[in-house]
Amino acid sequence: MLYYDSTYILVLIGFLLAMAAQGLVSGSFNKWSDVISSTGLTGRETARRILDAGGMHDVPVEHISGSMTDNYDPENNVLYLSDTVYNENTVAAIGVAAHECGHALQDKEAYFPLRLRSNLVPLANIGSQAAVPLFFAGLVLSFEPLQKIGIYCFLFAVLFYLVTLPVEFNASRRAVAILSDGILPDDELSGVKRVLMAAAMTYVASALQSMLQLVRLILLSGSRRRRD
């Protein structure tokens, strides 16, 4: 449901931030996807090497279709690498594979932010899907309790994005530390850092976007209350 007013500028700012972050990560990933690693390691081989060194021999490395669809599934203990990472021996592929291994290491060590994020997933899904319709229904009906319910629901989505930040930054730090320990030369490690930092900016943009939306809902609710 769309509601156009002066606060819609916040939605536009959030959209532009997300687009800029996506452009940054795509450009960085594409650049370093053209650089073949001197190690000869593919994303799959890198992940297997890191997982085995961490004692996670039972965590399989499987292929998933698409690009930038790489992820670690903590529920099933499976690490998925995409078309552009799994069998590719580029600097970008190695960096992404190591980052996902960082999440596997977090899971093994019961890293609190990762556990918290996993627990927030169902609440965040409900919040992101139901919050805005509930809020605007309350706005149209001039029913303030429904507006508040919508805002409170959206808080779970905002919290999810905020908790995601330390999870992602920590996984990237782990990846860089592992790769710098005799796996990649310095020039290639620099490329990995650029790719992972660009990827991290997409999570920062998502967090800012959600916070701007929350501010918008609060402003709209307050404005309607003053008019009433």
Q: How many domains does the structure of the chain reveal?
A: 1
| Rounded Cα distance, 119 and 220, in Å | 30
Lowest mean pLDDT among 98-102, 113-117, 128-132, 168-172: 128-132
Query: Cα separations (Å) of 221 from 135, 141, 144, 146, 161?
Result: 9, 12, 8, 10, 23
What integer pLDDT is reported at residue 1 of this predicted model? 44
> Does residue 209 surpass a pLDDT of 60?
yes
Contacts of 225 (CB under 8 A, 6+ apart): 144
What integer pLDDT is reported at residue 6 of this predicted model? 83
> Does residue 225 surpass a pLDDT of 90?
no
In-domain check, residue 3: no
pLDDT-based confidence at residue 224 (cuts at 50, 70, 90): low
| Rounded Cα distance, 51 and 60, in Å | 9
- Taking a C-beta distance cutoff of 8 angstroms, is the pair 81, 43 a contact? yes
pLDDT in tens, 104-125: 999 999 999 999 999 999 999 9
> Does residue 204 surpass a pLDDT of 70?
yes
What integer pLDDT is reported at residue 4 of this predicted model? 57
pLDDT-based confidence at residue 166 (cuts at 50, 70, 90): very high
Residue 71, H or E segment: strand 71-73
- Taking a C-beta distance cutoff of 8 angstroms, is the pair 91, 192 a contact? yes
In-domain check, residue 144: yes
Q: Is 100 marked active-site?
A: yes
In-domain check, residue 149: yes
Task: State the chain's mean pLDDT as an integer.
Answer: 93
In-domain check, residue 190: yes
What integer pLDDT is reported at residue 227 of this predicted model? 58
- Taking a C-beta distance cutoff of 8 angstroms, is the pair 165, 146 a contact? no
What integer pLDDT is reported at residue 44 of this predicted model? 98
Quick one: DSSP state of residue 3? -
Query: What residue numbers bound the domain in which 89 lies?
Result: 8-227
Q: What percent of the chain has pLDDT over 90?
A: 86
| Rounded Cα distance, 145 and 142, in Å | 9
pLDDT-based confidence at residue 72 (cuts at 50, 70, 90): very high
pLDDT in tens, 9-65: 998 999 999 999 999 999 999 999 999 999 999 999 999 999 999 999 999 999 999
What integer pLDDT is reported at residue 108 of this predicted model? 96
What integer pLDDT is reported at residue 33 of this predicted model? 97
Catalytic one of 100, 109, 144, 168 = 100
In-domain check, residue 1: no
